């Protein structure tokens, strides 16, 4: 398959994803094949373009499944910064559930911040955790996902 006929594929790191329903709506509007990847059963819409993938239990099994398939033309929805870094490295788009896109220029800082916070937590520092997910985050995510798919379509990818 050459780039001119490559399909856009959406991968959702689904175990703790708060925007699955929003992702389904955007994907349906654009006719994009969607893989919902989790290590346990979850309900998904009955739609031939949406496929449930249940991976075995274990650390990073879902992440590895997604990372092994993500490439140019893929959009990955994940809050997992190391997974986003792996996907961006392969040319895929990666978007956090709050709508923040991960890019080649931002992923290094995101990884460094994540690692610093993890080190602080391991040393017993109270870091407060992530801020609460808000309706504004949901709206920002919808816009970011739609924009990523539109950008891929303009580059010659198809839904």
Q: Tell me the pLDDT of the chain (159 aa) as tens digits.
A: 344 447 999 999 998 899 999 999 999 999 999 999 999 999 999 999 999 999 999 889 999 999 999 999 999 999 998 999 999 999 999 999 999 999 877 766 666 666 666 666 677 766 666 677 889 999 999 999 999 999 999 998 877
pTM of the model: 0.84
CA end-to-end distance (rounded Å), the chain: 14
Fold category of 3-104+132-153 in CATH: Rossmann fold (3.40.50)
Q: Is the CB of residue 99 less than 8 Å from the CB of residue 75?
A: no
In terms of Cα–Cα distance, which of 134, 149, 145 is closest to 22? 145
Ranges of each domain in the chain: 3-104+132-153
pLDDT of residue 119: 66
pLDDT of residue 108: 61
pLDDT of residue 133: 81
DSSP strand pairing (101-102 vs 93-95): antiparallel
Which residues have a Cβ under 8 Å from the Cβ of 91 and sit 6 or more positions away? 71, 72
- Beta bridge partner(s), residue 7: 158
Helix (H, G, I), strand (E, B) or coil at 132: coil
């Amino acid at each position: 398959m050459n780039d001119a006929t490559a399909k856009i594929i959406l991968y959702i790191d689904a175990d703790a994803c708060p925007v699955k329903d929003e992702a389904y709506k955007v994907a349906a509007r654009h006719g994009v094949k969607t893989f919902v990847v989790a290590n346990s059963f979850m309900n998904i819409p009955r739609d031939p373009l949406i496929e449930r993938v249940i991976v075995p239990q274990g650390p990073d099994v879902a992440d590895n499944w997604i990372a092994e398939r993500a490439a140019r033309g893929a959009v990955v929805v994940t809050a997992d910064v190391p997974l986003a870094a792996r996907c961006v490295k392969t040319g895929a788009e990666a978007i956090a559930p709050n709508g923040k896109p991960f890019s080649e220029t931002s992923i290094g800082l995101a990884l460094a911040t994540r690692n610093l916070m993890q080190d602080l937590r391991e040393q017993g520092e109270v870091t407060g955790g992530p801020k609460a997910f808000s309706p504004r985050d949901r709206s920002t995510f919808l816009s970011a996902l739609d924009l990523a798919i539109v950008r891929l379509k303009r580059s010659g990818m198809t839904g």
